């Protein structure tokens, strides 16, 4: 962003870029107020460009009759912005005891304390002002990125503003898309400031519906051309994972699902999904041949973690086919990382705890720095990594990290990860590269959960609790929603 802004500013009159940002910020703020005239607006401003944006936006609101007060967080403020605010009738206050009263009495608060260059935790008085804003009943609007959120990673160290709306300029920043930072942003509004061709290629991307393109059947397609996915899942103890994983594949567009496991798991899958071709196998490598021809494998959900499970994981990874490893299969890999040394595509789908075991990291550290750790894992393990969680990330060394924008807390229920494994396995079998299959599968999975939670429009207001089975049932609607 800084590189692109410098290139654009070299072609524009001085201050023009800041005025564009301020105009967009003021327009969003005005739309959030019942009326601008007579509204109490408080600006929390630091000495950087975001503080200047906030001051100029405040001046525009003051000229429309708002009572605007800027609370400074440091000795230096943007001189032009401060002059414009004062000329429009705005006031300036210090970060002292009066700030709490101003914030409590505000109708709208604009956070311009720090900008995209801010790293590490907020210092005083910024931290105190951020806390006051977050606790206020007023609508809080963050300028570009909530102060305290690392714009490049989403990392939050200590106090940070919790905004209702974030008005960001030019393009979305990774920290607005990736938790924990994303949870501080509220609704994100993008203001076009004319960067256009000056923006370099991104290293983090979020999919739009038109970017998600699962394999489409052609007139000459048959079940083999559409893709046959083999699933090794479930055991005597965990059979639900087998049923849900198979269901994700059946509704995920696979031409055929071949499921293999112990007798009881096979019986349940055959009963629930008669479309699947099932085989009872012993946990021995040579048993894979009995499953039949497949074009990708899914291994791990409910499989167990003992020697028999390890034998099956080893056998699948010994093939030259794409393989997705999930759940118990990841526990096996945590002690047998050598099995990942293979030429064929490998996609791992861990949550933070499973990734912690795979790369020897701390789970809390992974949750706090998701982008950093998913990149590290992809490079260290030389595989594609889909890190599940509050924001799902898909990483492959040397490629932009994919951020899934459709995630929802409704997916925090048992079995949804098994559904995702089956769905992504079907996309792999259909010929999608691992990175695309993971990103598209995560998008469809989240979209299906949202559709299931919303229910028929004529029956529900708000969202209802959902189960993993509800996600499977909603997958066809999610595919249709792509257009």
Whether 178 has a binding-site annotation, put simply, is no
Bridge pairing between strands 401-403 and 393-395: antiparallel
Whether 305 has a binding-site annotation, put simply, is no
> How many CB atoms sit inside 10 A of residue 412's CB?
11
Whether 117 has a binding-site annotation, put simply, is yes
Q: Is 192 exposed, middle or buried (0-12, 13-18, 19+ CB in 10 A)?
A: exposed
| 215 φ/ψ angles, rounded to the nearest 5 degrees | -60, 130
Whether 154 has a binding-site annotation, put simply, is no
E strand or H helix at 80: helix 79-87
| 219 φ/ψ angles, rounded to the nearest 5 degrees | -55, -35
Whether 351 has a binding-site annotation, put simply, is yes
Whether 135 has a binding-site annotation, put simply, is no
**What is the C-alpha end-to-end distance of the chain, expressed in Å?**
32
Whether 398 has a binding-site annotation, put simply, is no
**By the 8 A CB rule, do 444 and 478 touch?**
yes
**Cβ neighbours for 225, distance < 8 A, ≥ 6 positions apart:** 217, 218, 255
Whether 179 has a binding-site annotation, put simply, is no
Tokens of 329: 């299969």
d(C-alpha 402, C-alpha 325), whole Å: 19
Whether 241 has a binding-site annotation, put simply, is yes
Whether 391 has a binding-site annotation, put simply, is yes
Whether 184 has a binding-site annotation, put simply, is no
Whether 48 has a binding-site annotation, put simply, is no
Whether 116 has a binding-site annotation, put simply, is yes
| 187 φ/ψ angles, rounded to the nearest 5 degrees | -75, 130
Whether 127 has a binding-site annotation, put simply, is no
**By the 8 A CB rule, do 256 and 221 touch?**
no
Q: Provide the β-strand partners of residue 190.
A: 168
Whether 121 has a binding-site annotation, put simply, is yes
Whether 80 has a binding-site annotation, put simply, is no
Give me the helices (H) in 166-239, please: 223-226
Whether 3 has a binding-site annotation, put simply, is no
Q: Provide the β-strand partners of residue 34.
A: none
Whether 120 has a binding-site annotation, put simply, is yes
Q: Provide the β-strand partners of residue 91.
A: 69
Whether 111 has a binding-site annotation, put simply, is yes
Whether 318 has a binding-site annotation, put simply, is no
Whether 261 has a binding-site annotation, put simply, is no
CA separation, residue 425 to residues 11, 20, 177, 182, 341 (Å): 49, 46, 26, 28, 20
- DSSP class of residue 116 equals T
d(C-alpha 321, C-alpha 303), whole Å: 20
Bridge pairing between strands 228-232 and 187-191: unpaired
d(C-alpha 455, C-alpha 475), whole Å: 13
Whether 105 has a binding-site annotation, put simply, is no
Whether 253 has a binding-site annotation, put simply, is no
Extended beta strands in 262-389, E state: 277-280, 296-299, 323-325, 346-348, 384-387
Whether 418 has a binding-site annotation, put simply, is yes
Detail the residues annotated as belonging to a binding site for AMP: 388-392, 417
Detail the residues annotated as belonging to a binding site for (6S)-NADPHX: 49-53, 115-121, 144, 241, 302, 351, 418
Detail the residues annotated as belonging to a binding site: 49-53, 111, 115-121, 144, 147, 241, 302, 351, 388-392, 417-418
Detail the residues annotated as belonging to a binding site for K(+): 50, 111, 147
């Amino acid at each position: 962003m800084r590189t692109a802004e410098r290139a654009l500013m070299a072609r524009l009159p001085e201050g023009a870029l800041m005025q564009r940002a301020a105009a967009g910020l003021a327009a969003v703020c005005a739309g959030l107020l019942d009326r601008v005239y007579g509204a109490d607006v408080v600006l929390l401003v630091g000495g950087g460009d975001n503080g200047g944006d906030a001051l100029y936006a405040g001046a525009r609101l003051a000229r429309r009759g708002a009572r605007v007060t800027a609370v400074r967080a440091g000795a230096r403020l943007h001189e032009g912005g401060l002059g414009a605010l004062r000329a429009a009738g705005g006031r300036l206050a210090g970060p002292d005891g009066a700030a709490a009263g101003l914030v409590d009495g505000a109708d709208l608060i604009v956070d311009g304390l720090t900008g995209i260059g801010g790293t590490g935790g907020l210092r005083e008085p910024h931290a105190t002002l951020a806390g006051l804003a977050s606790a206020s009943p007023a609508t809080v609007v963050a300028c570009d990125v909530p102060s305290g959120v690392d714009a490049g990673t989403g990392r939050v160290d200590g106090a940070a503003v919790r905004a209702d709306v974030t008005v960001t300029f030019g393009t979305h920043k990774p920290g607005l898309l990736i938790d924990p930072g994303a949870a501080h942003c509220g609704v994100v509004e993008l203001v076009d400031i004319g960067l256009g061709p000056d923006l370099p290629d991104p290293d983090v991307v979020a999919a739009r519906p038109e970017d998600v393109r699962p394999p489409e059947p052609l007139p000459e397609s048959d079940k083999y051309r559409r893709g046959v996915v083999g699933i090794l899942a479930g055991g005597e103890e965990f059979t639900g994972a087998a049923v849900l994983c198979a269901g994700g594949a059946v509704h995920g567009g696979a031409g055929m699902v071949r499921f293999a496991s112990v007798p009881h798991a096979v019986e349940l899958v055959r009963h629930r999904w008669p479309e699947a071709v099932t085989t009872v196998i012993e946990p021995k490598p040579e048993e894979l041949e009995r499953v039949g021809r497949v074009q990708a494998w899914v291994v791990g959900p409910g499989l167990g973690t003992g020697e028999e499970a390890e034998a099956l994981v080893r056998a699948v990874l010994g093939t030259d086919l794409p393989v997705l490893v999930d759940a118990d299969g990841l526990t096996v890999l945590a002690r047998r990382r050598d099995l990942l040394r293979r030429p064929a595509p490998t996609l791992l789908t861990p949550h933070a705890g499973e990734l912690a075991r795979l790369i020897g990291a701390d789970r809390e550290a992974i949750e706090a720095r998701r982008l950093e750790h998913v990149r590290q894992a992809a490079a260290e393990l030389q595989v594609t990594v889909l890190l599940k969680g509050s924001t799902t990330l898909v990483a492959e060394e040397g490629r932009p990290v994919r951020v899934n924008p459709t995630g929802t807390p409704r997916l925090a229920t048992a079995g949804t990860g098994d559904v995702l494994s089956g769905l992504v396995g079907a996309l792999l079998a259909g010929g999608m590269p691992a990175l695309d299959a993971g990103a598209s599968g995560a998008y469809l999975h989240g979209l299906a959960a949202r559709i299931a939670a919303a229910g028929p429009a004529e029956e529900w207001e708000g969202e209802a609790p959902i189960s993993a089975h509800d996600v499977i049932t909603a997958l066809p609607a999610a595919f249709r929603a792509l257009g």
